[in-house]
Amino acid sequence: MSGDGLDPVSFLERAVPVASNDDVEAMRELLVETLDSHGADPTVDDAGNTIASKGASDPETHLVLNTHIDTVSPHIPYEREDGIIHGRGSCDAKGPLAALLAAFFAADPAPDARVTLAITPDEELLSTGAAALDVDGDMYIVGEPTGLDVCTAAKGRFEGTVTLGGVAAHAAEPASGANAIDALEPVLRAIRSFDDGRDAHPDLGAATLTPTMVDGGENSNQVPAACRLVVDRRSVPPETADGFRTSLVETLRSVVADDVDVDFELTERPTPFLEAFATDPDHELVTALADASRGAGGRGDVRPFTAATEASYFSPAPVVVFGPGVLADDEGAVAHADREYVLTDHVRTAAKALVDAVDHLVA
């Protein structure tokens, strides 16, 4: 069973050739056309989200199916070989979209239930669509390439810049100034030990804090008055972006000399950072989808997802990540890589699993 008249592989064969790395308009037109042709009556909101619903207007149970239509650059042309679809978006995330569409069209909600398909336009950059999405679900399934596993948790990702401010002076008289680059030494030690003593998350493991870029100084014969260090944070629950910033500032101020100013600011962005999330693996949403995946021919393993996703915007409501395709295989990267592909059997398996899980959850 693959949906009410929708063959997910046929849809994917139409979707992958449509470039959606620089502009999603053509891909959104295909999506809206597909929804219209099945009587779904979709709407597109001011943020570019495509939304369609069926079922009760005031439901006791509201299940939301979500993924995105944008892709990373460059666009990789569509190719088809026996059992495999190649091209940009084949697994991230038009393959998952095809499976979600099949489930949405097949859904027949009970009188007190509702199913909503909510497709966002900007997941790969700033998540402007998901941040503006006005859909109040009780449970969420987010389509991403998980190898047909059910992912219940993911680390968040924050980014920011440590700024060290000293006093410029002639390098021949270094003691007459305050060397901002010298202050990197205790800062780097503090970053390496920042998570010492913190409990690892039972599913996601330990958070990480990694220095990624550094610059400082104006002249080769001058004591530098400023130094900047960019850090990458992969968080675990319950840490928030604001909580991380406060904790890191306190830590750094405690180790830097008094004659050097220190500050840390998160990188400015128009939408919230993708924070960590974790759903109870015993929740019905998880068990229903894992059982359905196994029943359809997948492993149905329950595990964390290894990349940050818009699923964090929907937490603390129960949310899982699921779909055909993989982020990487034994040969290397798949999603975001020139060799991006998805197995057509996995697309059909994901569609059947989602059809059965949605039926269990809302019928």
**Domain assignment present for 271:** no
**Domain assignment present for 88:** yes
**Domain assignment present for 205:** yes
Do 202 and 143 fall within a single domain?
Answer: no
Do 330 and 193 fall within a single domain?
Answer: no
Per-residue pLDDT of the chain (363 residues; tens, 9 = 90+): 344 569 999 999 999 999 999 999 999 999 999 999 999 999 999 999 999 999 999 999 999 999 999 999 999 999 999 999 999 999 999 999 999 999 999 999 999 999 999 999 999 999 999 999 999 999 999 999 999 999 999 999 999 999 999 999 999 999 999 999 999 999 999 999 999 999 999 989 999 999 999 999 999 999 999 999 999 999 999 999 999 999 999 999 999 999 999 999 999 999 999 999 999 999 999 999 999 999 999 998 999 998 889 999 999 999 999 999 999 999 999 999 999 999 999 999 999 999 999 999 999
- Helices 25-37, 8-15: axis angle to 10 degrees equals 150
Do 259 and 160 fall within a single domain?
Answer: yes
**Domain assignment present for 188:** yes
Beta strand 43-44 pairing with 50-55: antiparallel
Q: Is 250 designated active site?
A: no
Give the pTM. 0.89
Do 237 and 290 fall within a single domain?
Answer: no
Instruction: Exactly one of 7, 23, 60, 70 is catalytic; name it.
Output: 70
Do 24 and 113 fall within a single domain?
Answer: yes
Do 15 and 139 fall within a single domain?
Answer: yes
353 with 296: CB under 8 angstroms?
yes
The whole-angstrom separation of Cα 239 and Cα 155 is 10
135 with 51: CB under 8 angstroms?
yes
Do 150 and 186 fall within a single domain?
Answer: no
Classify residue 94 by burial, with Cβ atoms within 10 Å: 0-12, 13-18, 19+: buried
The whole-angstrom separation of Cα 298 and Cα 293 is 5
227 with 183: CB under 8 angstroms?
yes
Q: What is the pLDDT of residues 145-180, one digit of tens each?
A: 999 999 999 999 999 999 999 999 999 999 999 999
**From the CA atom positions of the chain, what is the Rg in Å?**
24
Predicted pLDDT of residue 4 = 53
Output the six-digit token pair for 348: 């059909």
The alpha helices in 53-210, defined as continuous H runs, are: 94-106, 128-132, 184-192
Predicted pLDDT of residue 80 = 96
The whole-angstrom separation of Cα 198 and Cα 208 is 11
Structural domain of residue 111, as residue ranges? 8-154+276-362
Do 102 and 138 fall within a single domain?
Answer: yes
**Domain assignment present for 1:** no
The whole-angstrom separation of Cα 101 and Cα 31 is 9
**Number of domains forming the structure of the chain:** 2
**CATH number of the domain where residue 193 is located:** 3.30.70.360
Last residue of a domain, one of 213, 231, 266: 266
Do 227 and 344 fall within a single domain?
Answer: no
The alpha helices in the chain, defined as continuous H runs, are: 8-15, 25-37, 94-106, 128-132, 184-192, 241-255, 284-296, 344-362
Instruction: Exactly one of 122, 123, 149, 340 is catalytic; name it.
Output: 123
Do 216 and 316 fall within a single domain?
Answer: no
CA dihedral over 174, 179, 181, 187, signed as positive or negative: positive
Predicted pLDDT of residue 43 = 98
User: What are the φ/ψ torsions at residue 251 (nearest 5 degrees)?
Assistant: -65, -45
**CATH number of the domain where residue 339 is located:** 3.40.630.10
> CB count, 10 Å around CB of 234?
18
How many CA atoms are closer than 13 Å to the CA of 221, on its beta-carbon side? 2
Instruction: Give the amino acid at 291.
Output: D
Last residue of a domain, one of 239, 266, 293: 266
Helix %, strand %, coil % of the chain (to 5): 30, 30, 45
Do 31 and 143 fall within a single domain?
Answer: yes
Do 16 and 127 fall within a single domain?
Answer: yes
Q: Is 81 designated active site?
A: no
Q: What is the pLDDT of residues 104-131, one digit of tens each?
A: 999 999 999 999 999 999 999 999 999 9
